Amino acid sequence: MILSGKARVAGVIGWPVAHSRSPRLHGYWLERHGIDGAYIPMAVPPGRLEQALRALPALGLRGVNVTLPHKEGTLAACDNVDSLARRIGAVNTVVVCDNGELSGFNTDAFGLIENLRQRSAWRATDGPAVILGAGGAARAACVALLDAGVGSIRIVNRTRQRAADLADAMSGPCAAVAWAEREEALEGAALVVNTTSLGMAGQPPLDLRLDSLPLKATVYDIVYVPLETRLLAGARARGNAVVDGLGMLLHQARPGFEAWFGTPVEVDEGLRDFLLQDLSNA
Ligand SMILES: NC(=O)c1ccc[n+]([C@@H]2O[C@H](COP(=O)([O-])OP(=O)(O)OC[C@H]3O[C@@H](n4cnc5c(N)ncnc54)[C@H](OP(=O)(O)O)[C@@H]3O)[C@@H](O)[C@H]2O)c1
């Protein structure tokens, strides 16, 4: 795509940023929709975040995605922060307003729930949910499931205090469960979401027997490298519905793209295949 002088420009800020899939993902949509625009990776070291964010309006950029380690710092630096991003405690999408102010959003909860809805028959009223983990992704998962109307969430984490802190912060029907009791926590659950890094390439597998999980429950692993983790393979083998994490990555990108480039976009099999090819070449 050859850019005109009026091209809209957005990008991703991170440190490091070279591993980010976002330029490929947004590049796919830009090309598919024939948009006069570009999405570029920007390596911003710690200590220069505020300077980088403040430069966006002056450079005429439409906004940025924000990845590690800048998500919390960006929340503090934005002029306006969406209430969802405040509840999650992190900003992953910045939109430059017409008046030059920076508005911060978090689209991880949206990505998580959209993917779950697109790829399973799960309904919030099906029953209790179990979230494994209590880090940033678990926070987004909690907010997403509570807002979807889940009536009870069990948060299971290796560091129990972190699970208790998350349950307290959510002011909803959330309870902390010790890691040693993770298998009992599956009893009667309608949904299990792994938000730990266990099972990801280069990390130990998630050690979790599924015997007490109802067969009608959905098992969702937000890890996407590999696409089918040991957790998902085990769940599929015993007859549970499974959802992988790739779609979360794809859906979370939609609101930013739509705000910056003014075109609604979809997540379909073509996009999944494109990103999968990209991941397998990495
Ligand atoms: N699909 C997507 O779009 C998407 C989006 C965001 C994140 N993710 C994935 O989600 C995962 C977590 O991300 P995050 O940002 O939430 O990370 P994080 O804030 O660092 O949290 C990591 C979580 O994993 C747990 N954990 C790590 N090692 C463990 C072990 N050996 N045994 C038991 N628990 C362990 C941690 O428990 P402690 O509290 O005890 O340390 C914590 O709950 C990553 O794999 C990331 O790639 C995917």
Q: How confident is the model at residue 1 (pLDDT cuts 50, 70, 90)?
A: confident
**Ligand 1 centre from 173 Cα, in Å?**
22
pLDDT greater than 90 at residue 282: no
Residue nearest atom 13 in ligand 1 by C-alpha distance:
137
Which stretch of DSSP H or E encloses residue 155?
strand 153-157
Regarding the beta carbon of 196 and ligand 1, being less than 6 Å apart is answered yes
Mean pLDDT (whole number) for 91-97: 98
**Ligand 1 centre from 135 Cα, in Å?**
6
**Which pLDDT score is estimated for 143?**
97
Strands 93-96 and 102-105: antiparallel
pLDDT greater than 80 at residue 98: yes
DSSP 8-class letter at 179:
G
Whether residues 90 and 138 fall in one domain: no
Nearest to 220 by CA among 253, 188, 179, 190: 190
Number of H-type helices and E-type strands within the chain: 11, 12
User: What's the number of domains the chain is made of?
Assistant: 2
44 falls within a domain: yes
Nearest to 29 by CA among 251, 282, 276, 280: 251
Whether residues 130 and 227 fall in one domain: yes
Mean pLDDT (whole number) for 105-123: 98
Tell me the residue range of the domain where 237 lies: 109-244
Whether residues 85 and 139 fall in one domain: no
Whether residues 89 and 27 fall in one domain: yes
Whether residues 152 and 217 fall in one domain: yes
Rg of the chain over all Cα atoms, to the nearest angstrom? 19
Mean pLDDT (whole number) for 13-30: 96
- Digit-coded pLDDT (tens) for 39-57: 999 999 999 999 999 999 9
2 falls within a domain: no
Mean pLDDT (whole number) for 255-278: 96
Q: How confident is the model at residue 278 (pLDDT cuts 50, 70, 90)?
A: confident
Contacts of 252 (CB under 8 A, 6+ apart): 92, 107, 108, 110, 111, 112
116 falls within a domain: yes
**Which pLDDT score is estimated for 281?**
79
**Which pLDDT score is estimated for 260?**
98
Residue nearest atom 26 in ligand 1 by C-alpha distance:
196
- Digit-coded pLDDT (tens) for 181-231: 999 999 999 999 999 999 999 999 999 999 999 999 999 999 999 999 999
39 falls within a domain: yes
Whether residues 57 and 86 fall in one domain: yes
Whether residues 93 and 204 fall in one domain: no
Q: How confident is the model at residue 171 (pLDDT cuts 50, 70, 90)?
A: confident
- Digit-coded pLDDT (tens) for 127-164: 999 999 999 999 999 999 999 999 999 999 999 999 99
Whether residues 17 and 75 fall in one domain: yes
CATH of the domain at 171: 3.40.50.720
Residues 3-13 as b/e (b if ≥16 CB within 10 A, e otherwise) read: eeeeebbbbbb
Whether residues 184 and 68 fall in one domain: no
Catalytic entry in 62, 70, 71, 139: 71
Whether residues 232 and 129 fall in one domain: yes
100 falls within a domain: yes
For the CA of 252, the closest atom of ligand 1 is 3
pLDDT greater than 80 at residue 14: yes
Regarding the beta carbon of 250 and ligand 1, being less than 6 Å apart is answered no
Q: How confident is the model at residue 106 (pLDDT cuts 50, 70, 90)?
A: very high
Whether residues 218 and 138 fall in one domain: yes
Q: How confident is the model at residue 4 (pLDDT cuts 50, 70, 90)?
A: very high
Place of tokens 């948009």: 35
Regarding the beta carbon of 65 and ligand 1, being less than 6 Å apart is answered no
Average pLDDT taken over every residue of the chain: 97
Q: Is there a catalytic annotation at residue 71?
A: yes
CATH of the domain at 25: 3.40.50.10860
Whether residues 61 and 101 fall in one domain: yes
Give the relative orientation of helices 160-170 and 136-148 as an angle to the nearest 10 degrees. 40
Mean pLDDT (whole number) for 248-258: 98
pLDDT greater than 90 at residue 87: yes
Regarding the beta carbon of 137 and ligand 1, being less than 6 Å apart is answered yes
3 falls within a domain: no
1 falls within a domain: no
- Give the whole-angstrom CA distance, residue 104 versus residue 91: 6
- Give the whole-angstrom CA distance, residue 241 versus residue 139: 23
Residue nearest atom 17 in ligand 1 by C-alpha distance:
135
CB 14 within 8 A of CB 31: no
Region class of 89: left (phi > 0), else alpha (psi between -120 and 50), else beta: left
**Ligand 1 centre from 181 Cα, in Å?**
18
60 falls within a domain: yes
Mean pLDDT (whole number) for 85-101: 97
Helix, strand, or coil here: 98? coil
**Ligand 1 centre from 253 Cα, in Å?**
20
Q: Which amino acid would we find at residue 90?
A: A
